[in-house]
Chains A and B, each alone.
Chain A
Amino acid sequence: MREESDKELLDRIAKMLDGGLKTMTEPFPEDNFQFDVIVRELAHIKKDDVEKKLVVSGYLNHPIEEMRCMECMYYLNHRKWCNLPEIDLPAEPDWWCRLWRI
C-alpha cells in the first residue's frame, strides 16, 4: 500500500479536528514533571493510532492565547511537523497542543 504523504496526513488530521474531535486540552502541564506524565502516556500509543495521539496530546486547530506550534520548541516550521518523538505528526503553524514548550 502507498504510504500517506506528510501533506495527506496533515489534511486528514485537519479534517478530524474540523469535524469536532474532542482532545484533552487540559490540564496544561505546569512543570516538566507533569509534562513527562503526558509524554509517557503518549509513548504507549501505537505509532499509527493518530487519533489517540491527537486526543492525549490535546491537539487543537487554533492557538491558545500567545501559544502556537509556530514558536514551540518541537516544531519544524519548514516541514510543518511536530518533532516531539512521542507525537511525530504534522501540524499547521497556528495549531497548538498541551505539550507546547518554548
Chain B
Amino acid sequence: MANLLWLQGGACSGNTMSFLNAEEPSACDLVTDFGINILWHPSLGMELGNDLQQILKDCVSGKIKLDIFVFEGTVVNAPDGTGTWNRFAGRPMKEWVKELSAAADFVVAIGDCATWGGIPATAPNPTDSVGLQFLKKNIGGALGKTFKAKSGLPVINIPGCPAHPDWVTQILVAVATGRAGDLTLDEYQRPKTFFQSFTQTGCTRNMHFAYKVSTTQFGQRNGCLFYDLGCRGPMTHSPCNRILWNRQSSKTRAGMPCLGCTEPEFPFHDLMPGTVFKTQTVMGVPKELPLGVDKSSYIKYTGAAKAATPKWAEEDMFVV
C-alpha cells in the first residue's frame, strides 16, 4: 500500500481533469489493482477544514507515512514572498509544499505549472509563481536546486499543459510498485521513457515534413505544420504521437500545430501577438530549426528534398 497525497497550487485543474480521464491504468485501477491509497485529492477527497488539516499535519509529522506527494499548479510566492495569495488549510500553500515534500518518499510535479511555472509564470508573472524545482529552464524553484525526496530522487517532472493522463498514472504506478529505480530522468527531470522521443515521432505528417510540403490552414490533412503554422514537433520532447490522446488522436493528427507544451520555455515568446501558431522566420528561414540541425544543413536538405518531392505528396492523399 502506498499513500498518495495530491495538492493543487496556482492551477486550472487541467491536470486533475486529465488524471481522472486516465485509461491505462485508470485512476480507479491505481486504487484497486496497484495498491495506491489516495489520502486526499482536491476533487476526490471527502475531508474538509480541520479533518483535512489533520491529514496534512500527520503527513508532515510522519504519523501518516507519505509515500508519494503529487503537486499540480505553481507555487505562488506573491505578495512579497509571503505566498498568502494562495492560502490552503490555514496557511500559505508554499509552506505545506516545503514540509510535505521533505516528508515524502517521492515528489511528483504534474503539468507545466508545477514543473516549471507554465502559463502563470509567464512575464510579468504577477503571482510570483515558480515550479517545484524549476522556473522555466532554471533549476531552483520552490524546493531549491539540491532538493531530493527521501527516496533520493529529485522532483519527478511530468510536464504538459495538461500532462497526458497515462503519463501520470503510469509513473505513479511505477513509483508505487517499487520500480522507481527503473526510471531515468533527463536534464529537466522528466522520465525519459516518455520524454526522450519527439512529438514528431509517430506523427502522420512525417512524409510531408520530409518532402517539405506545407500545411497552410488549420485542419488541412495534407502537409506538415512546421513550415507555416509553427509546429514545434521536431524540437519538443513528448510521446503525443506514440501515446495518443483519447487513445485516437493528437494535435498534429487533427491539423493543429504542437505548441511545445512539455518544454520548460512554454508558453514560447511570452505569448507575444504573432508568435502563436506561426513559424517564426528570419529572411525566409525558420528561426528555430529541428533539434540538432544547423541553418546551412537545413537549407541544403530542404532544397534537395523539395526537388525530390513525388507527385503524390502534393496531392490530397486522404480521400473519402
Closest to B280 in A: A32
CA distance A70 to B283 in the complex (A): 17
Contact (Cβ within 8 A) B284 A102: yes
Chain A binding surface, main DSSP class: loop
Chain A, interface size: which category?
A: 20 to 34
Contacts of B285 in A (CB 8 A): 101-102
Give the number of residue pairs across the A-B interface with Cβ within 8 Å. Answer: 61
What residue of chain A has the Cβ atom nearest to residue B228's Cβ?
A73
Chain B residues within 8 Å of A31, by CB:
280-283
Judge whether B278 is part of the interface by a CB distance below 8 angstroms: yes
The answer to the question of A51 belonging to the interface, with a C-beta cut-off of 8 Å to chain B, is no
Partner of B311 from the list A35, A72, A78, A102 (CB cut-off 8 Å) is: A78
Min C-beta distance of A59 to chain B, whole Å: 16
Are A77 and B274 CB-contacts (below 8 A) given A102-B285, A102-B303? no
Q: Does A28 contact B283, Cβ atoms closer than 8 Å?
A: yes
Report B166-187 residues with CB < 8 Å from chain A CB.
Answer: none
B43 on interface, CB distance cutoff 8 Å: no
- Chain B residues with CB below 8 A from A102, complex form: 284-285, 298-299, 302-303
A77: chain B residues at CB < 8 Å are 306-307, 309, 314
Take A32-B279, A35-B281, A100-B284 as given contacts and tell me if A85 and B216 are in contact as well, using a CB distance cutoff of 8 Å.
yes
Contacts of A83 in B (CB 8 A): 214, 216
Q: Would you give the 0/1 interface string for B270-301, flagging 1 where the beta carbon is closer than 8 Å to chain A?
A: 00001000111111110000000000001100
Task: Flag whether A43 is at the interface (Cβ < 8 A).
Answer: no
A30 with B282: CB separation less than 8 A: yes
New contact pairs (15) apart from A32-B278, A72-B306, A76-B213, CB-CB < 8 Å: A30-B282, A32-B274, A32-B281, A70-B303, A70-B306, A71-B302, A71-B307, A73-B212, A74-B214, A75-B306, A77-B309, A78-B309, A78-B311, A84-B216, A101-B284
Q: Which residues of B contact A (CB under 8 A)?
A: 212-214, 216-217, 227-228, 274, 278-285, 298-299, 302-303, 306-307, 309, 311, 314
Q: Which 7 residue pairs are nearest across A and B when measured between Cβ atoms?
A: A78-B311, A71-B303, A73-B227, A76-B314, A32-B281, A73-B214, A101-B284
